[in-house]
């Protein structure tokens, strides 16, 4: 596998080694040993899968510490615009976001550490999104940021006025009003006491 660094520290693109021939293809979507060799030592405890139609926008979601989740995102069918926002206070990229097209064709994955808000929009007729988490879902720790926050000015790859968005996601606070308890220090997250 190939690990590609992005302009936001700790946010990584993973490109698996794909073996293709006339029968189709094969690749290891996750191999713990390969990840550890790259210095990525996460223990995933929960797998999530969602199916959505064109124009669905989900996010921005995160869990407060100590329930933050590292997520490994990939697309099994279709194409999405995947978004990760750095919400680690004192980070040199605090409030910055990265948008990346993930699809069944490019087979890329995005490794999102704790301290990031996450969301995606569906760009194909349907999309099946699969992701691994290193911490269990905790409804009491769940938080969000409104998808159309003017400070973030995220490009979701579609017209958000026409997007299909849950009432819950429409009710999230602005970035400047959102509860966040992540701190960035010396290239890592410093959890609150």
Known catalytic residues are 61, 131
What gap in Å lies between CA 86 and CA 97, rounded to an integer?
A: 6
Task: Produce one character per residue of 55-65: b if its CB has 16 or more CB atoms within 10 Å, e if not.
Answer: bbbbbbbbbbb
3-class SS string, 147-169: CCCCCCCCCCCCCCCCCECCHHH
- CB-based burial label for 24 (10 Å; 0-12, 13-18, 19+): exposed
Q: Is 140 helix (H, G, I), strand (E, B) or coil?
A: helix
């Amino acid at each position: 596998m190939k690990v590609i660094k992005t302009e936001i520290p700790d946010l990584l693109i993973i490109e698996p080694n794909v073996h293709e021939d006339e029968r189709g293809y094969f690749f290891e979507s996750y191999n713990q040993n390969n990840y550890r060799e790259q210095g990525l030592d996460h223990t995933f405890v929960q797998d999530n899968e969602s199916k959505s139609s064109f124009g669905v926008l989900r996010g921005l979601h995160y869990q407060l510490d100590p329930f933050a989740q590292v997520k490994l995102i990939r697309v099994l069918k279709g194409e999405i615009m995947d978004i990760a926002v750095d919400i680690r206070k004192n980070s040199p990229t605090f409030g910055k976001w990265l948008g990346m097209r993930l699809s069944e064709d490019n087979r890329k994955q995005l490794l999102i550490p704790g301290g990031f808000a996450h969301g995606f929009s569906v760009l194909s007729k349907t999309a099946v999104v699969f992701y691994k988490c290193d911490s269990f879902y905790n409804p009491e720790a769940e938080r969000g940021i409104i998808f159309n926050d003017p400070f973030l000015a995220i490009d979701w790859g579609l017209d958000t006025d026409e997007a299909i968005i849950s009432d819950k996601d429409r009710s999230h606070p602005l970035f400047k009003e959102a509860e966040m308890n992540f701190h960035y220090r010396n290239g890592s997250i410093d959890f609150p006491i």
